[in-house]
Amino acid sequence: MSNTSYLFLADGFEEIEAVTTADVLRRAGIPLQTVAVGVAGLAVTGAHGITITADVAMNDIADRPAALLILPGGMPGAENLAANPALLARVQRQLDDNLPLAAICAAPAVVLGKVRTTRPRVLTCYPGYEHLLAHHHVRPDGLVIDDNLVTAKGPSFTISFALELIAGERGYAAARAVNAGLLLNIN
């Protein structure tokens, strides 16, 4: 398995969830690449009109293993991720291999709702999308951890989400160190 993590960006992604997660993970020294999905080139435009240049395109990482896959939400970003067969196959492999996967906002419902799981998962998602996860156990919590799957409810939970990903990759001491530098009151 590679030690590189991938954060996927499709047009309409939620900027807070994508950029903040990438920033916080990189502060912890976690190798992370942003991946353009479903666009020509590397420029991806978020739900609020902010254009980001991704590090690589989806085709560039087709066969590369990943330490962690991260799916930000936003609309129509989550729908654009879910419409990409290569991304869905990648997410399916990550789940099948019991490797770390993280999704926030609408992505847990819209993307993970399209892949099969070996058992019902416990997760959270943006309010109003729970119906897409009828075969799972959806909690109203801001952050939910179910083995190798970390999900968060929406933008206001992004830093907690990212810190939990750091804890999973580098331990809680590393997450607390980044948290201290951010001047947040999160344990």
HSE on the CB side for 42, CA within 13 Å?
A: 10
Domain ranges of the chain: 5-182
pTM score of the predicted model:
0.96
CA dihedral 14→16→21→26, nearest 10 degrees, is: 120
pLDDT at 1: 47
Superfamily of domain 5-182: Class I glutamine amidotransferase (GATase) domain (3.40.50.880)
C-alpha dist (Å) from residue 109 to 134, 153, 169, 181? 10, 10, 24, 32
Cα gap 119→31, rounded to integer Å: 30
pLDDT at 187: 55
Q: Please provide the DSSP assignment of 55-109 as one string.
A: SEEGGGGTT---SEEEE---TTHHHHHHT-HHHHHHHHHHHHTT--EEEETTHHH
Q: Which structure tokens are listed for 105?
A: 């906002």
- pLDDT tens-digit map of 81-122: 999 999 999 999 999 999 999 999 999 999 999 998 888 999
Taking only the tens place, the pLDDT of each residue in 22-73 is 999 999 999 999 999 999 999 999 999 999 999 999 999 987 889 999 999 9
